[in-house]
Structure 1
Amino acid sequence: MAEDENPHPDDWPTQARQSFLTAMWNMTLDEDAYTDGYPSWIESWLRGHGQDNVPGSASAAALQRILACGVDPDDLTDVVRQMQHDLVYNVCQLIDDPGLLGIGLDEDWSEQTDVRWELVAVRTARPTVRAAIDGLHSSLDDLDPSGRCGEPRGRPVPARLPGQPLHARLAVAHVRSGDRIQAINTWRKATGASLMEAKAAIDQLLDQSRQDPENSQQ
């Protein structure tokens, strides 16, 4: 095989990398999911770790104490999601190259065993093909389902509008917080629309969201 010949002409390893990273993102909390006005992960955590309003674990009890202090549940969501992101990112760095984290394997152990980590994708169609997958940490944020590339969502919290892009959700959130000018600027910056086009698009989206009781809560 020539040196420049691609052993995987259909580039399935890239698809495998995207599939793995998408699965990692799917394991982080869904910041847009709410149950009875609360982030769903909080409701699920409390329901799954206790009965009759009595926490069944130290973690659930701690969460109840935090909420009892008046902490904004959305702030908790932002903190937890960022910590989950950082953990997944660091795991990706560990697989790609431990040196990226400023750490290394124990020298005596690594010299004796010659060990390193790697992610290997296996395509089971005959013949079975294996490919080492790298570049995990550098690709992770590109697949952020929020579209923010790993960045925090900031304030106001984007409105819950399933299927709408981030700029639309932010614009509606700005309007609901009383800042229509910022809403229009957000829309125009993202779309290049004129002032009148932005106003009309936002008003239409607001009308649609008012027809959905769940979306109108935020």
Structure 2
Amino acid sequence: MTQSVEDHQPEGWQVRAHESFVNALWSLIVDEDGYTDGRPSWIETWFRGHRQGSVPDHAMPAALHRILACGVDPDDLTDVVRAMQHDLIYNVCQLIDDPGLLGIGLDEDYSDEMEFGWELVAVRTAAPAGRASINHLRSSLDDHDPSGRGGEPRGRPIPARLPGHPHYARLAVAHALAGDRTQALKTWRKATGAPLGEAKAAIGLLLDQPRQDPGSTP
């Protein structure tokens, strides 16, 4: 197999390794668009094997059962969990980049000779073999947010489920479905710079498309 020019440049695979690690961190975050049997899939996962309506024996699903029984919106719960998970992976990146940014100091009993930090090293297993330090993780983490919001909460209304469409389009449709056509147009035009008539037509076309019910199985 012929190797590309990029494969012979250490910078190329190091960049890909950096992006791969950051994307892997994001893959550990709950899927805000995934629904199973009428509720977010990550919640449903905790209830598997438990009879519907009964209180689970395990502490975690039991806590979720009590929270939902109080009338908490499952989507609000998803947003809280996702925000906390985002903070965690961001702090992991900071811990690797510079522990001092987190206020983490050395143990008072340590001597200067024992000072240490952490380093993420990418190891290339395919030829040409190589090793490279991966740093500046926190500065690029939010650029890889699959939602396109840079780590920010989604807010309300929840973007419409329109697979393949950008976030602004899904949000504009959600505003329109909620009866706020003015905000729908503002959202679309702010993101695209489109004239008013073009924005109206584009949103109208999306409103005519069949949408998946948030309570249905993807």
For the criterion TM > 0.5, the same-fold answer is yes
Determine if contact 2:161/2:212 at 8 Å carries over to the other structure: no
Seen in structure 2, the aligned counterparts of structure 1 residues 213 and 151 have a Cα distance that, compared at 3 Å, is: closer
1:37 to partner: Cα distance: 2.5
- Displacement of 1:46 in angstroms is 1.7
Q: Moved runs in structure 1, 4+ residues, more than 4 A? A: 7-10
Matched, 1:169 2:170: yes
Q: Shift of the alpha carbon at 1:83?
A: 0.3
For 2:154 and 2:211, the matched residues in 1 are separated by: 23
Considering Cα pairs closer than 8 Å and 6+ residues apart, tell me whether 1 or 2 has the greater RCO. Answer: 2
In the other structure, the counterpart of 2:144 is 143
> CA offsets per residue over residues 108-154 of structure 1, 9 Å max, x none?
33645343211000112234210000000111000000000011111
1:51 CA displacement: 4.2
Equivalent residues of 1:171, 1:182 under 8 A apart: yes
**In structure 2, what is the equivalent of residue 70 of structure 1?**
71
Measured against aligned partners, the alpha-carbon deviations of 1:81-122 in whole angstroms (never above 9, x if no partner) come to 000000000000000110111112314336453432110001
Residue 98 to residue 152, structure 1, CA distance change in 2 (3 Å): same
Q: For residues 96 and 194 of structure 1, do their structure 2 counterparts lie closer, same or farther at Cα, with a shift above 3 Å needed?
A: same
| Consecutive unaligned residues in structure 1, runs of 5 or more | 1-6
TM-score of the pair, normalised by structure 1: 0.88
Alignment match, 2:88: 87
Q: Is the 8 A contact 1:89 1:137 kept in 2?
A: yes
- Which structure 2 residues correspond to residues 1-218 of structure 1 after superposition, within 5 A? 8-47=9-48, 50-51=50-51, 53-109=54-110, 111-208=112-209, 211-214=210-213
Question: 5+ unaligned residues in a row in structure 2: which ranges?
Answer: 1-7
**Change over 3 Å in CA distance of 1:213–1:128 after alignment to 2:** closer
Rounded to whole Å, the distance in 2 between the matches of 1:206 and 1:46 is 34
User: C-alpha displacement at 1:197, in angstroms?
Assistant: 0.7
Superposed CA deviations along residues 34-92 of structure 1, whole A, max 9, x for unmatched, are 112211111112226x3453313111111111101111111100000000000000000
**In percent, how many aligned pairs have the same letter?**
67
CA drift of 1:161 comes to 1.3
Are the equivalent residues in 2 in contact too, given 1:143–1:149 (CA < 8 A)? Answer: yes
Rounded Cα–Cα distance in structure 1 between residues aligned with 2:179 and 2:70: 27
Verify the 8 A CA contact 2:168 2:191 in the aligned structure 1.
yes
Assess if the C-alpha contact under 8 Å between 2:162 and 2:211 holds in 1. Answer: no
Contact 1:161 1:215 in 2 (8 A): no
Superposed displacement of residue 157, structure 1: 1.0
Of the structure 1 ranges 179-188 and 98-107, higher mean CA displacement relative to structure 2 is found in: 98-107
CA distance in 1, matches of 2:90, 2:27: 14
TM-score, normalised relative to structure 2? 0.88
How many residue pairs get aligned? The number is 208
Q: Secondary structure at the match of 2:47?
A: helix
CA distance in 2 between counterparts of 1:139 and 1:110 reads: 33
Q: Matches of 2:171 and 2:146 in 1, distance apart?
A: 15
Q: Does the Cα contact within 8 Å between 2:124 and 2:131 map onto a contact in 1?
A: yes
Q: State the SS of the aligned residue for 1:47.
A: coil
> CA, structure 1 residues 93+109, in 2 after alignment: closer, same or farther (shift >3 Å)?
same
